[in-house]
Chains A and B, each alone.
Chain A
Amino acid sequence: MVTLSRRATLLGAGAGLALRTTGARAEDTLKIGVVSPLTGPAAESGQFKQNGMQLALDAVNAAGGVLGKKLELVVEDDQTTNPGAVLAFSRLAGRDDIVAFIGPVRSTQVNSMAPDVLKAGKVMMIGGTDPSLTHLGNPWLFRCRPNDTYSAQVIAQFGVKELNKRKWAVVFSTDTFGSNGNKALTAALEKEGIQPVLAQGYTNQQADFTPVVLAVRQSGADILSSYFTYENDLGVFARQVRQLGVRIPWVGSPSIANTTSLNLAGPALYGTYGVSDFSADASPAAKAYAEKYQAAYKSMPDIQSSWAFDAVNILAMAINAAKSTDPQAMRKAVIAIKGYGGAEGEYNFDENGDGLHGYNIVRNDNGKIVFDRHIELTA
């Protein structure tokens, strides 16, 4: 009798203890589910994204966390593929302890997982710049980068008004990002009464761009604009542009100014312009972020990390402002964010979920990316 009850007591106490520990552990942290490319062709950008998120996470947690708890990231690999992204998200969507998500930077992957995000019904911060992503009728997608209608308008405005060029050649990847970029740029140019003399698509991961470069040369264009998804493609293209004697001004989508492109293409990109949502000299917040990043990782930050840094901060702000992790309350809190100075720029979330509405023009000055001007759009 005595032994039995003692054992029962011990068991009971043990079980209680176990319950309490697991309970405490689950409540210790608020978890954010992250879908990132850890392998595949975009694995490098996944690493930069991780760096950016970690910087924000450390700062948020050092400042006392969110609702008195520490934030934690749960990362799943999307393998830089659409099926991989869907699979990675499904592993996260089933978990009740995850309060919000940070999605991929590539539009095509965001697009493929968007229906599942709608089903999951929780806020997801995304980096993909395909304009349609925030116009799918999906209330849960929030963008921490300006979308491509803005980049296209800024490219068109800069090329037409500042550089006075009217014969445009557009080279774009045929994936979601590139073809929508092309559409947006064509539309923006149309507003200026301009039809591009060449709109040339290519498929990702090419070993050679000679036919494309020659098409640009033959077209008689006086300005080149590009939407490249992968830096190695951009690197091969840029070198052949120089080798085959194309000397016209070149204004590219953000990838033209990122660290990897600069390393790969080297002198081939000197003198080119790019739109960039992140530029270290664009604002005090951007400058502070750049210094922090350099101190932590000994390399220059770029767009692959800055949006992710902002995403973590915005989620933390939204949860604190909503005073709960209820998805609807969090959604309202994100939309309520106005005038927040992040690393990417000033966030004013609109009803569609777009946080940013302008772009920086940057210039490649012998391998150094310098801030040229910021163009803010009201549309």
Chain B
Amino acid sequence: MSLFLQLLFTGFGIGAIYAMVSLGFVLLIRAANVVNFAQGEFSMLGAYAMLILFAGLGVPYLLAFVLSVAVMAVFGMVFAGVAYWPLRHRGQLPVIISTIGASILLANAVLAAYGPSPQTLPGMFDNPGFEVGEVFMDSQYLLILAVAALLVLLQYLVFEKTMLGKKLQATSQDKEMASLLGIPVAVMVLITFAYSAAIGGIAGVLVAPILFVSTGLGSLISLKAFAANIIGGFGSIPGAILGGLALGIAETLGAAYISVPYKDAFGFAMLLIFLLLRPQGLFGERIAEKA
């Protein structure tokens, strides 16, 4: 039993990582109708920003955290201007390819600038964790779970309860109509990219103490996060969270009870099953096709 609980805890932790990166995906899909394959690189850059500020310049942890996230928000806007804005009228495919290109460029730019050595980044707590019964709770995983829950709540409130959220959604559904109604479309898109990059940055800073800071950090989690998104329902916030958690748990339990080498396969088998049997995901979209 303690074995199962330990696995469940770890599955939740890993799942929360996927979920958090997945949240960034969802935002851009919902508000800008963009599938951003550089989302993982936002996390990677956030982790490097933290490394430079905290480990390099000695800025206190929380301040360095806030600054890293702010840096990423600004970076998100720059990213929007370079990788999205010039292609916005050309349909989804050119934008997707542009984000893939940006992802490769960013990973290799960081490689060129900071070298290939993976670095360690300390977590927020000195205590690595504690034991409850026979289950070891890694404090960083607990933090990730808490922050993920907080972000979901925040995101839900913004999208469903505020005028800003409604404007963002309107922009996503029909840019022309939105702009006719007086919504500043360009500003909405910039806000979305900034927020999405900031969330990516938060995920990066939180994950780095577990997975280390390296240029491969983004690709390690973003593919799974993308799968989580599809499992949960493309563009759905609760779906991203549940999809991420389900993926993390399925992987961990599958690895423990069936086969470790096929660990990655369980996640992607789940993705295939959903694509075949329930392509709209756990939380299907109310609007079948967005303009």
What is the interface of chain A, defined by CB distance below 8 A to chain B? 39, 41-44, 46-47, 174, 200-203, 205-208, 210-212, 214-215, 218, 231-232, 235-236, 239, 243-245, 260, 263-264, 266
Residues A202 and B263 in contact in the complex (CB < 8 Å), given A211-B252, A264-B120: yes
Number of A-B contacts (CB under 8 A): 88
CA A46 to CA B7, docked complex, whole Å: 36
Q: Determine if A208 and B120 form an interchain contact, defined as CB atoms under 8 angstroms apart.
A: no
On chain A, the residues within 8 Å of B252 by CB distance are 208, 210-211
B interface residues, how many (CB within 8 angstroms): 34
Residues A39 and B3 in contact in the complex (CB < 8 Å), given A203-B261, A203-B263, A243-B136: no
CA A207 to CA B3, docked complex, whole Å: 19
**CB closest residue in chain A, given B248:** A208
B 98-127 to A, binary, CB cutoff 8 A, 1 in contact else 0: 000000000010010001111110000000
Q: Determine if A202 and B129 form an interchain contact, defined as CB atoms under 8 angstroms apart.
A: no
Chain A binder among B42-50, B56-64, B206-214, B234-242: B206-214
CB distance from A177 to the nearest CB of B (A): 15
B 1-40 to A, binary, CB cutoff 8 A, 1 in contact else 0: 0010011001001100100000000000000000000000
Q: List 5 A-B contacts (CB under 8 A).
A: A44-B115, A202-B263, A214-B7, A244-B6, A263-B118
B 172-185 to A, binary, CB cutoff 8 A, 1 in contact else 0: 00000000000000
Q: Determine if B211 and A214 form an interchain contact, defined as CB atoms under 8 angstroms apart.
A: no
Q: Determine if B210 and A236 form an interchain contact, defined as CB atoms under 8 angstroms apart.
A: yes
On chain A, the residues within 8 Å of B120 by CB distance are 263-264, 266
User: Which residue of the partner chain, among A43, A202, A208, A235, contacts B10 with CB atoms under 8 Å?
Assistant: A208
CA A48 to CA B261, docked complex, whole Å: 30
CA A43 to CA B136, docked complex, whole Å: 34
Residues A207 and B118 in contact in the complex (CB < 8 Å), given A202-B263, A245-B136: no
CA A239 to CA B262, docked complex, whole Å: 22
Residues A244 and B136 in contact in the complex (CB < 8 Å), given A47-B116, A214-B6: yes
CA A211 to CA B10, docked complex, whole Å: 9
Q: Determine if A202 and B260 form an interchain contact, defined as CB atoms under 8 angstroms apart.
A: yes
CB distance from A379 to the nearest CB of B (A): 30
User: Which residue of the partner chain, among A202, A212, A215, A264, contacts B118 with CB atoms under 8 Å?
Assistant: A264
